[in-house]
Amino acid sequence: MRRIKKVGILTSGGDAPGMNAAIRAITRSAIYNNLNVVGIRRGYYGLVFNDMVPFDSGSVSNIIQQGGTILKTARCKEFISDEGRFEAYKNLCAQAIDALVVIGGDGTLRGARIFAEENDIPIVALPGTIDNDLGGTDITIGYDTALNTIIEAVDKIRDTATSHERLFFVEVMGHMAGYLALNGAIASGAEAAIIPERETEIDQLAELVRRGFRKSKNSAIVLVAENPATGGALGLAQRIKEEFPEYDARVTILGHLQRGGSPTAADRILASRMGAEAINALMAGQRNVMIGSQNGRMVYTPFTMAVTQKKPIKETDIELVKILSI
């Protein structure tokens, strides 16, 4: 095992609150362990086109409270090709970068896995995605902040829903996972959550209406994951208009509002712990693993398992929404 002297950091995919806290922790933990640090701008694009800058402790000052990512993030179609990844590897070698820490979601980890398989460079990943859909970790960086953003928005929407005695469909992110919708419903007191994990099992909208969810209430809020399988909030509102015209339905799509904002304390702490652990992992000879948090402990999960393991939705949480909505 060769000694690591210089570490590169990049953020890729959708931004998530807490990414800057992770960048800060990785940078300062590396410097503490006498490693040099390079910031790679715009994700894998920066690898392919050699957009890299040296980092010192001052480079990450006063960023822990900032949303987004100071390293920026972008799509890179060139990295999909063999030629693009070879160019990226040549740039790493030219910069004398011995190891990479990547922060992102499912697509970021898939790219890291392929790159690591093709080249002899250790890579450690941090799960940075508001969707909370990666295996090997109980929670991902950005999820808690996004959940709090949803709660704040739903609290305000409820004022209007109550005043006008309306049914509101609130669409939240979660293209392949319903964690934001389900836990957002529990935390905000919403009457239901419509999630992709249940859509193949049951017609969730029909079940909702059959339950008579407005018998004891003059308004209702339903959180909907944006996945096409659910029909989205607009699709469900249209179904209400056609199939249940007695209900006055409205739609609010939160969209990219959920990605922004200053990270919560929980996200700052999680990102800081994961960032420091990424450097510990590299110095211990780990490679091609994602840092996760399970039952409060830092754990290592191989890339393949992190992107293929399906994190199950808790049936008890689905039942809890029903129980609390009566």
| Active-site annotation, residues | 131
- List b or e across 238-273, with b for residues whose CB sees 16 or more CB atoms inside 10 angstroms: ebbeeeeeeeebbbbbbeeebbebebbebbbebbbb
> What tokens were used for 135?
């295996």
Q: Report the C-alpha gap between 282 and 7 in whole angstroms.
A: 9
User: Is 194 in contact with 225 (CB distance < 8 Å)?
Assistant: yes
Q: Report the C-alpha gap between 182 and 193 in whole angstroms.
A: 5
Closest CA to 323 of 229, 191, 206, 195: 191
> What tokens were used for 294?
């399970």
Q: From residue 142, how far is each of 61, 82, 93, 117, 299 by CA, in Å?
A: 20, 31, 32, 28, 18
**H/E/C letters for each residue in 47-113?**
HHCCCEEEECHHHHCCCCCCCCCCCCCCCCHHHHCHHHHHHHHHHHHHCCCCEEEEEECHHHHHHHH
Q: Report the C-alpha gap between 46 and 55 in whole angstroms.
A: 15
